[in-house]
A and B are shown apart, each in its own frame.
Chain A
Amino acid sequence: MHLLPYLILFLVLAGCSSKLPQGNPTKSTGTDPYQQPCLVDITKLSSLNFVHDPGDLDGFSMPQIMGSGAAFLDIDGDQDLDLLLIGGKQPGAKERAGGDRLYRQEAGGKFADITEWAGIATGGYGMGVAVGDIDNDGDLDFFLTRYGADRLFQNRGDGRFDDITEKAGITNLQWGTAASFFDFDRDGWLDLFIANYVDFYPGSVCEDGSGRRDFCGPESLAGTVGRLYRNLGKPATDTVHSQFEDITVPSGIARRVGKGLGVLCKDFNGDGLMDIFVANDGEENFLWVQYENQMFSNEAILRGVALNRFGEAQANMGVVSEDFNNDGLSDLFVTHLAGEYNTLFQASQVGQFSDRTVAAGLSLSSLPFTGFGVAAADFDHDGDVDLAIANGGVKRGRRAETKDVNAFWSDYAQRNEFYLNDGKGGFESQRRLGGSDFTERTEVSRSLIHGDVDNDGDVDFLVTNCAGPARLYRNDFPKLGNWLSISAIDPLLKRSAIGAEIQIQVGERVITRDLNPSTGYLGCNDMRVHVGLGKAARYDAIRVYWPNGGTEIEEFPGGDSNQTITVKRGSGRILAGDTR
């Protein structure tokens, strides 16, 4: 019995360099079938030419080292993923346009730059992005965080956008990083949480231990308050634009100053109300637990997600939540600085967590790396959630012997990591992944977003790099099982039910996933929920816990695996009362 996980791992690894063609036959197997990579860099193949521009590096301006995010989103409703890449440009230079680029996916999987046509060019130093349909009109809008004023863009319906920041009443002038749309008050309109980072002024001078100029770290800078905006919907006076109200103070969020880099919104304690987890850099994390009066209380320390097992506050950055050990409870995984390990907060009961990183095999391998972006998905369809982590230093480390970056960045460059899950929540780092350059290339990586870019039923991903190209990786893992891709739509709201919990019944097993695209670091993932089913050729039922309207649970009938399905609210069997 104990050999089974290793056997699975062996098979996966063997498969990566197998002679036999594996996976989707439409994918290239490369010239040498013995070296078939599991993750294929298809950046050039996809005509993706985005290179992050951090601006002039002489000043070691802190935003430059924090990198930037990206989003997979279908801007035009043509059922394929388009791509928004957040750019940098000179921090603090107001007059210069930002470096954000919007790419539309076209025939043959090529991406075309439509930035100017789409009208998203804007100033400020770009950081992160959140995606959601803020006005319930059936298309996706997005919010951009900046070192500078954040921006909100509303989709006209055809993939062109209007900057409605001021009209919508959003004025976040602090250094926004991660952001997430979620319907915290269950009124059907997506609200917005923004994590703000530190109070950094251009021209701040920081040094490393020996007095050499280096990028500032959070320790010498004051923290800031995250912001919560309530979406008021479209008022009678302005039926075009959604209006937002800043409720940071009345909601209780303003009670704690933090240094937020990661955000994850979900119902952590199972009371049907959405909560907010904020990963703070170098400080205790926050878990803002919502109460019936729509007030939030920070309970991170009592629920075991504020600090690591040694009681230390770590440099918390990217965050994902998945059920890593298949026990039906969602766990949390947070990426960290080199010298700290990435932390797995495993749920021991609903709403209570313990640091179980070491036991899960995730500690030692991550010590040399500074992890930022993270994707948790079942890449090989064996029925458990694997991890891909984007790494890159923030302080001068040992100079990397690499040609992947120039001399300046070689002090910060690191390789990425990929972990396969053994099915019980134990992980093994895959240092050489079938010749893939994802784990071998040495760059200063930051955001990592995932989605089924080629609509072939598996999860691909994209990595952003400081001062480097965004790289798109196609999933060519040999598949050990079947899959399901689920869209959960609320027809009344004309949008994806962000915040829904989806349970897939497969025999005795219940697989739980959240519909929450805003995870990881500064990025936004595919809205569809992807599930690896292992050997199951069928699933028996899908249950959806809809996020708004109270405690409605709806069940949808089973079917064959290996398909993309859409479950629409109101078309299933209601298991618990509809309170709408």
Chain B
Amino acid sequence: MSNETPEIEKQIDLPEPVSTSPSVPKKAWENWPMLFLLVAVGVSAAIWWISQNLNAMPKVPKPDFTTANSNVAHATAQLLKAVEDKPNSAEAWGQYGEILMAHEWNSEALICFDQAAKLNPKEMRWPYLAAILLEREDPTLALAKYDIATGLSSGYAPLWMRRGNTLLGLNRTDEAETSFKKALVADKNQPYPLIALARIAGVRENWKMATELLEQAKSVAPKNREVLVELTRSRMLLGVNPMLGQAEQSAILSGQRYDTMPDEIYSAINEQEVAARFAAMQADSAAAKGDLQAAAEGYVALIKQRPEMVRPRLNLASVFLQSGQAPLALTTLKEAVQLFPEDARAHYAYSYALEGSQQLEAARREREEAVRLKPDFAEAHFALAISAERDGDMDQAIQSYRLAIQSDTRLARAHLGLGLALQKQGKLEQAVKAMDAAVKLSPGDPVPKGYLDKAKALLEKNRP
């Protein structure tokens, strides 16, 4: 069609248009209305843009602090001020959201996370935390936020796990399965994606697959209660005699809450909890001042308040030890290990209490467990080396010293221990080298210096 008109025009031979008025140049003032109009439009557009952008900034939420704990109110008010001072800072909004979330001002926290996400759309934490808040109230909206978060960071396994669980809650099992598989890809060292996949297999009555997945999970986490229980149940439903070993039996009977997938981002929220932190600080301060009774009372109260935290139990045990109540320390740490079987620090601390009560074999086992749970736990490797050395297991001792040093090259005690162990094996040159490192790391300490001098003398004496 567009080509037709020129053709017609050519054929008809239209006349030239005739001007009806003379061509007079316009005076400048005659353009003013147009200019004025343009300026007005421009100003209006600017006002509209500013108002739109101002409207996009939500009112900073301020929960009712009047009835809140004064420490909580103070800490929260500080972060509120940070937002007011820097309203365009995503981090300020996010941190304010975190402290609000920690103290259960959830709807206010949600506003903050949404604003933080708007200001920094590339940060995964904000949609992730918003999704966690929404998980139980509005799973569909939570899922949308999880999807945003996965778009920003696909390698965070807890995110895929939570997304999968939300999908399960919405009866979208196939999609949940995909999400759990992605969690598995993101972190192969955790049993939880495998457990979740096994549960889906169970829902489909495929107990063979469930059992296989749980066997895999067991190879990843052989002492995980959930794995042991679910595996036993799955085998029962498959019709296989579950053949309960001691580990399975104690897992079934223990009644301890299942561990959950470690989630650093979410854990940071607990760190924000001011009331618990303040109670912990008070107890720590009492312990530091030597007021052991006040410290013990503080930790006991904190354990009641926050039973899911391991630290107060370890500190309480430490207070018991300091006040000469070793049996109480032992009981406290035993309970800590039972409650937090996946916590390397608990096993490590318990090993010292066991050692103190001459239960040396048990102490060594706890140390082995601690390093299994946390392979870069230098102090635990060092403690295991001591146990091994005491048992005459020098090869293991040397290996553990080396692992301790590998985990923390500045651990002078490990260098010295390695040196002494090597010396016992007659490897004097290596021993001197290790002791030399210990001396360099603790220059004023006469002990490593003394050992080094002796080793050097021995080496000199043995030279051909």
Assess the B69–A358 pair: CB atoms within 8 A.
Answer: no
Report if A220-B68 is in contact (Cβ < 8 Å); known contacts: A302-B236, A309-B168. Answer: no
CB distance from B184 to the nearest CB of A (A): 17
Asked whether A207 is an interface residue with its Cβ less than 8 Å from the other chain, the reply is yes
Per the bound structure, the CA–CA distance linking A309 and B230 in Å amounts to 11
Q: B66: nearest residue on chain A (CB-CB)?
A: A212
Among B137, B202, B232, B236, the residue within 8 A (CB) of A367 is: B137
CB distance from A408 to the nearest CB of B (A): 13
CB distance from A532 to the nearest CB of B (A): 27
Q: Identify which of residues 277-305 in chain A touch chain B, using a CB-to-CB cut-off of 8 Å.
A: 283-284, 298, 301-302, 304
Count residues of chain A with CB under 8 A from any CB of chain B.
Answer: 37
Report if A339-B68 is in contact (Cβ < 8 Å); known contacts: A207-B275, A210-B63. Answer: no
Asked whether B305 is an interface residue with its Cβ less than 8 Å from the other chain, the reply is yes
CB distance from A389 to the nearest CB of B (A): 17
Assess the B232–A302 pair: CB atoms within 8 A.
Answer: yes
Q: B273: nearest residue on chain A (CB-CB)?
A: A209
CB distance from A273 to the nearest CB of B (A): 19
Count residues of chain B with CB under 8 A from any CB of chain A.
Answer: 44
Q: A221: nearest residue on chain B (CB-CB)?
A: B304
* Neighbouring A residues of B137 by C-beta, 8 Å: 339, 367-368
Asked whether A354 is an interface residue with its Cβ less than 8 Å from the other chain, the reply is yes
Assess the B170–A354 pair: CB atoms within 8 A.
Answer: no
Q: Identify which of residues 508-533 in chain A touch chain B, using a CB-to-CB cut-off of 8 Å.
A: none
Assess the A302–B229 pair: CB atoms within 8 A.
Answer: yes
**When each residue 352-394 of chain A gets 1 if its CB lies under 8 Å from chain B and 0 otherwise, what string results?**
1010001100011001100000000000000000000000000
Assess the B72–A301 pair: CB atoms within 8 A.
Answer: no
Assess the B195–A311 pair: CB atoms within 8 A.
Answer: yes
Report if A210-B104 is in contact (Cβ < 8 Å); known contacts: A307-B258, A340-B136. Answer: yes
Asked whether A208 is an interface residue with its Cβ less than 8 Å from the other chain, the reply is yes
Q: A341: nearest residue on chain B (CB-CB)?
A: B169
**When each residue 176-213 of chain B gets 1 if its CB lies under 8 Å from chain A and 0 otherwise, what string results?**
00000000000000000001000100110100000000
Contact count A vs B, C-beta below 8 Å? 87
Per the bound structure, the CA–CA distance linking A302 and B233 in Å amounts to 5
Asked whether B111 is an interface residue with its Cβ less than 8 Å from the other chain, the reply is no
CB distance from B367 to the nearest CB of A (A): 29
Asked whether A211 is an interface residue with its Cβ less than 8 Å from the other chain, the reply is yes
Asked whether B451 is an interface residue with its Cβ less than 8 Å from the other chain, the reply is no
Q: A220: nearest residue on chain B (CB-CB)?
A: B304
Report if A208-B307 is in contact (Cβ < 8 Å); known contacts: A302-B232, A359-B171. Answer: no
Q: A213: nearest residue on chain B (CB-CB)?
A: B67
Assess the A310–B165 pair: CB atoms within 8 A.
Answer: yes
**When each residue 131-163 of chain B gets 1 if its CB lies under 8 Å from chain A and 0 otherwise, what string results?**
000001101000000000000000000000000
**When each residue 264-287 of chain B gets 1 if its CB lies under 8 Å from chain A and 0 otherwise, what string results?**
000000000101000000000000
* Neighbouring B residues of A211 by C-beta, 8 Å: 68-73, 103, 275
* Neighbouring B residues of A309 by C-beta, 8 Å: 168, 199, 203
Assess the B258–A311 pair: CB atoms within 8 A.
Answer: yes
Among A311, A338, A358, the residue within 8 A (CB) of B226 is: A311
Per the bound structure, the CA–CA distance linking A359 and B204 in Å amounts to 12
Assess the A209–B139 pair: CB atoms within 8 A.
Answer: no
Assess the B202–A354 pair: CB atoms within 8 A.
Answer: yes
Report if A210-B307 is in contact (Cβ < 8 Å); known contacts: A301-B229, A307-B258, A310-B165. Answer: no
Asked whether B252 is an interface residue with its Cβ less than 8 Å from the other chain, the reply is yes
Assess the B252–A210 pair: CB atoms within 8 A.
Answer: no
Report if A358-B170 is in contact (Cβ < 8 Å); known contacts: A208-B104, A309-B199. Answer: yes
Asked whether B102 is an interface residue with its Cβ less than 8 Å from the other chain, the reply is yes
CB distance from B61 to the nearest CB of A (A): 13
Assess the B136–A348 pair: CB atoms within 8 A.
Answer: no
Q: Identify which of residues 236-267 in chain B touch chain A, using a CB-to-CB cut-off of 8 Å.
A: 236-237, 252-253, 255, 257-258
Assess the B202–A210 pair: CB atoms within 8 A.
Answer: no
* Neighbouring B residues of A256 by C-beta, 8 Å: 255
Asked whether A400 is an interface residue with its Cβ less than 8 Å from the other chain, the reply is no
CB distance from B402 to the nearest CB of A (A): 38
Q: Identify which of residues 316-352 in chain A touch chain B, using a CB-to-CB cut-off of 8 Å.
A: 338-341, 348, 352
* Neighbouring A residues of B67 by C-beta, 8 Å: 210, 212-213
CB distance from A371 to the nearest CB of B (A): 14
* Neighbouring B residues of A352 by C-beta, 8 Å: 237
Assess the B136–A209 pair: CB atoms within 8 A.
Answer: no
Residues of A within 8 A of B (CB): 207-213, 219-221, 256, 283-284, 298, 301-302, 304, 307, 309-313, 338-341, 348, 352, 354, 358-359, 363-364, 367-368, 398
**Contacts A/B (CB < 8 Å), 17 sampled:** A209-B105, A210-B68, A211-B70, A211-B72, A211-B275, A220-B304, A284-B255, A301-B252, A302-B236, A302-B252, A310-B165, A310-B168, A311-B199, A311-B258, A313-B257, A340-B136, A363-B171
Question: Top 4 nearest A-B pairs by Cβ distance?
Answer: A211-B69, A209-B104, A339-B136, A210-B68
Other than the given A209-B105, A298-B253, A364-B169, 11 more pairs (CB < 8 A) read: A207-B69, A210-B69, A211-B103, A212-B67, A213-B67, A256-B255, A301-B229, A302-B236, A354-B203, A367-B139, A368-B137
